[in-house]
Structure 1
Amino acid sequence: MSQQPTTETPKIAIIGGGPGGLTLARILHINGIASTVFERDEHALARPQGGSLDMHADTGMRALRLAGLEDAFRNVARYEDQDGKVCSPDGKLLFSDSDPDGERPEIDRTQLRQLFLDALPGGTVRWGQKVEAVRPLADGRYAVFANGGDGGEAGEPFDLVVGADGAWSRVRPLVSDAVPCYEGVIFCELGIDDADAQHPALAALVGHGKMFAKGRSRTLVGQRSSNAHIRVYAALRAPESALKLDTADPDRTRQEIAGHFADFAPVLRALITEAKLLAIRPMYALPVGHRWANRPGVTLIGDAAHLMSPFGGEGANTAMADGADLAMALADGNDWRQAVADYEAIMFPRAEEAADGAAEGLRGGVSEDAPDHILEHVAAARERAHPGNRVDDGASA
């Protein structure tokens, strides 16, 4: 059935209540466009949202500004936590940089999510609604089938369905047959609470920002979060099945992880042994440059569109940029179907550049090479934040 151009406001379903989906819902709302967000979590604190995020000026911060949340963000953001350190496996400090005036302020994922939730009308987010399927209807709309929903056997019809549902998106197969592939790296996520009081040496090691320690095919990252929490990421190149979380004995799994870092300095290894094991995450990514032919009534944002390694720090930022660009295109008041196509034309090249950088970051960041790549990675980030300011190798204040 052919679709005729229309300026009528579409009925919009957003599948997934992460940064991208909530950015889209909020900017649509302040432009007078309603949407429904289907979120599988039972409530906002049903599961950990992950560690800290740095917001980038031209993506995450721009999205917050368009959402009218920049002031609210500044009230909770941590501008003091933008420092960077690089250590060798023996604990030697190779690089240190204090950057309290940088352009990438930090915020916890839970706090960021709550900013958006507080700014949305009640009922916008349907909690406990895990979408099982999205199917095309004869009239050009799409039926959304969610557990616990009220759509019945026929599902609930929408004019536009936006897949913001992450790596294993149920919406993606409507436009693409691409599937995420394992990238050869396992991330072990751990957490240390009340670090300043209970683990002052580790708190000092991480400092106010991020600390990297890179060995052969293994990398440790310590990241400062709010409330004196430190999030730890122990990354190693290994077969996907090499490590699995033993829920009955997580301490045993933690010790197994620490064994992979046996040649690291004791103070670095303590980031693992003194932490609580939270998750083991094999790293998956969609092909760099993933695209699809425009299909009226359905599109993707965030990880559903361009899942990538976290090593570039672009995942949440590009998801928020996606949500902002799609919302602004729809708010223009022109043919909404063309607006979706216009958004995709903007998103594809931006996502390709970010995904390419993330893939390169993971290849070099967890590799057989010496720590030089991490030094280059941190220096490049500083150059992006402060163009023209060269960062030298070696420890600096």
Structure 2
Amino acid sequence: MDNKAGIRRHFLEGKTIIVAGGGLSGSAFVVGLRRLWNPAWKSPTIHIYDRDSEEASAQRETYTLSLAGYDATGGLLAMRKLGLLDQTLNKAVSGLDGAGAFKIWGPDWKEHISFRHKPFEGLPASSIRIPRKDVRQVLHDGFGPADAVEWGTKCISAQRLEDGRIRVEVMRGAPGQETITEEECDVLIAADGASSKLRAYLRPDDKLDFAGAVLRGGISRFDGPLPKPLDQDWGFMLSGTGVSCFFSPVDKNSLVWTVGQLEDTQVPPLDLEDAEQVKAVINRGLELGSELQEPFRTIVAHTDPKTTLSINARDKKPFAHEKVDELPVVFIGDSNHAVSPFSGYGANLALADACDLAEQLCKGNSLREAISAYDKLAMPRAMRILKGSRARLTAGHSTGIQYWVFWLMLVVGKFMGWVMGKKMT
């Protein structure tokens, strides 16, 4: 639509957008929309709510994640599109200047395969490890002057009004002292994570699926440098006994370790205030990793009890926004298509979703057109990562002949990557 001066009008001009979730996807969406917005248009008002307190969020996000830079779906490309690549690289703990790579080790720490892809479109690295809290902070530093996260605030329901807008129930306050208010917006971005309150309300049958594995571990802290090769490298140790272990540096004096195993039933939530529960998780990790050689036991012995984790691997398939005209709510990141920790790609999907959604909204002539274009990008990408994650989860915990077939596939894949010039070394 054009105004009398012939300037194209945008369907979101002067509108109100609520973003439920101040994590990676929600924050990156805000940065992307502000960056791509035509200054000739009147800016929308954006409210960003996060259910955690700022302190709880900082404590929960002490682990690192991988941001990929070897294809168009990676988080490093997304951060470059957002104009935040340099700030992101400055926070990397491994993966720059040829130092550090993703490895697969045997139980004796013998390196079997090292993956070092060719960076995509001039990116400076094919993959980095970076603390999640630092990625979030880089994104928040990229907000516009009027943007800020309101902590301790969550969106619990959404309903369409007669005029097409949305009434959102918003809960604020500490447990036992909550207050609920009703707020209105024109578009609601649901970026509230895998256990999305909004998805539970609007799509009650669209739940997480148990992927058949449990992850136990924590963050180990050392007074001095980390044991080699974990001072730079990260990756999986495969035992052939049905147990895998993931290791990654967090900073110069701490690393995260997790032991994974296929299990038939899910474990109950871990109460970090219960010392006996915490001890039982750590001991179970030691038991499962009994075939892994030192420094495995030393690493586990240095676990900070406050960081202990016991996680059920859960995921869910992506879905399209077929009725966005009826209820303008858009689900992005884990709220739409959660992947298990075994994928190692959830943050990349979240950042790619956010960039694509912001771009399509700015380019589109209507909300329906923009979201349709967005779904065509996001759904196949998420489905591909989900299928690959499930396959790797099963293969990585295989035993016997299946274990050796998996190794053969890795070796052949590495060789073919070298032949085709992809530089997997």
TM-score, normalization by structure 2: 0.79
- The equivalent position to 1:169 in structure 2, one of 172, 176, 196, is 196
Structure 1 residue 346: deviation in Å? 1.7
Structure 1 residue 84: deviation in Å? 3.0
Counterpart of 2:218 in 1: which secondary structure?
Answer: strand
**What does 1:1-397 align with in structure 2 at a 5 Å threshold?**
7-9=11-13, 10-30=15-35, 31=37, 32-43=43-54, 45-57=57-69, 58-59=72-73, 60-77=75-92, 78-80=94-96, 82-96=100-114, 102-120=125-143, 121=145, 123-148=147-172, 155-173=182-200, 174=202, 177-194=205-222, 197=224, 200=226, 203-215=227-239, 216-242=241-267, 245=270, 247-249=274-276, 250-277=278-305, 278-287=308-317, 290-296=319-325, 297-332=328-363, 334-368=365-399, 369-370=402-403, 373=406, 388-389=421-422
Q: Please give the root-mean-square deviation of Cα atoms over the aligned residues, in Å.
A: 3.2
359 and 28 in structure 1: CA distance in 2 versus 1, 3 angstrom threshold = same
Rounded to whole Å, the distance in 2 between the matches of 1:348 and 1:98 is 27
Q: Is the 8 A contact 2:19 2:46 kept in 1?
A: yes
74 and 385 in structure 1: CA distance in 2 versus 1, 3 angstrom threshold = farther
390 and 230 in structure 1: CA distance in 2 versus 1, 3 angstrom threshold = same
Q: Is the 8 A contact 1:308 1:315 kept in 2?
A: yes
Structure 1 residue 185: deviation in Å? 0.7
Structure 1 residue 161: deviation in Å? 0.8
What is the identity, as a one-letter code, of the residue corresponding to 2:60?
P
What is the identity, as a one-letter code, of the residue corresponding to 1:260?
L
Structure 1 residue 143: deviation in Å? 1.7
Counterpart of 2:368 in 1: which secondary structure?
Answer: helix
What is the identity, as a one-letter code, of the residue corresponding to 1:231?
V
What is the identity, as a one-letter code, of the residue corresponding to 2:61?
Q
Rounded to whole Å, the distance in 1 between the matches of 2:362 and 2:116 is 41
What is the identity, as a one-letter code, of the residue corresponding to 2:403?
A
Rounded to whole Å, the distance in 2 between the matches of 1:364 and 1:382 is 19
381 and 318 in structure 1: CA distance in 2 versus 1, 3 angstrom threshold = farther
Rounded to whole Å, the distance in 2 between the matches of 1:376 and 1:49 is 34
What is the identity, as a one-letter code, of the residue corresponding to 1:38?
Y
After superposition, give the CA deviation of every residue in 1:108-143 in whole Å (9 maximum; x if it has no partner): 111100001112135531111022222222322222
Rounded to whole Å, the distance in 1 between the matches of 2:358 and 2:194 is 22
Counterpart of 1:284 in 2: which secondary structure?
Answer: strand
Counterpart of 1:347 in 2: which secondary structure?
Answer: helix
Rounded to whole Å, the distance in 2 between the matches of 1:381 and 1:311 is 20
Rounded to whole Å, the distance in 1 between the matches of 2:165 and 2:152 is 24
Rounded to whole Å, the distance in 2 between the matches of 1:307 and 1:84 is 23
Rounded to whole Å, the distance in 2 between the matches of 1:170 and 1:374 is 41
Which aligned segments of 4 or more residues in structure 1 are displaced greater than 6 angstroms?
A: 97-101, 381-386
The percent of aligned pairs where both chains have the same amino acid is 24
What is the identity, as a one-letter code, of the residue corresponding to 1:72?
Q
Counterpart of 1:281 in 2: which secondary structure?
Answer: strand
Which stretch of the first structure deviates more once superposed, 138-147 or 312-321? 138-147
Rounded to whole Å, the distance in 2 between the matches of 1:342 and 1:92 is 46
Rounded to whole Å, the distance in 2 between the matches of 1:127 and 1:148 is 9
Q: Is the 8 A contact 1:49 1:109 kept in 2?
A: yes
After superposition, give the CA deviation of every residue in 1:4-63 in whole Å (9 maximum; x if it has no partner): x97243321111111111110111122244421110121165432152222223231222
Q: Is the 8 A contact 1:144 1:156 kept in 2?
A: yes
Rounded to whole Å, the distance in 2 between the matches of 1:281 and 1:227 is 26
Rounded to whole Å, the distance in 1 between the matches of 2:168 and 2:418 is 42
Q: 1:395 — aligned with what?
A: none
Rounded to whole Å, the distance in 1 between the matches of 2:417 and 2:368 is 35
What is the identity, as a one-letter code, of the residue corresponding to 1:37?
I
Higher relative contact order (CA 8 A, sep 6+): 1
244 and 177 in structure 1: CA distance in 2 versus 1, 3 angstrom threshold = closer
Counterpart of 1:204 in 2: which secondary structure?
Answer: coil
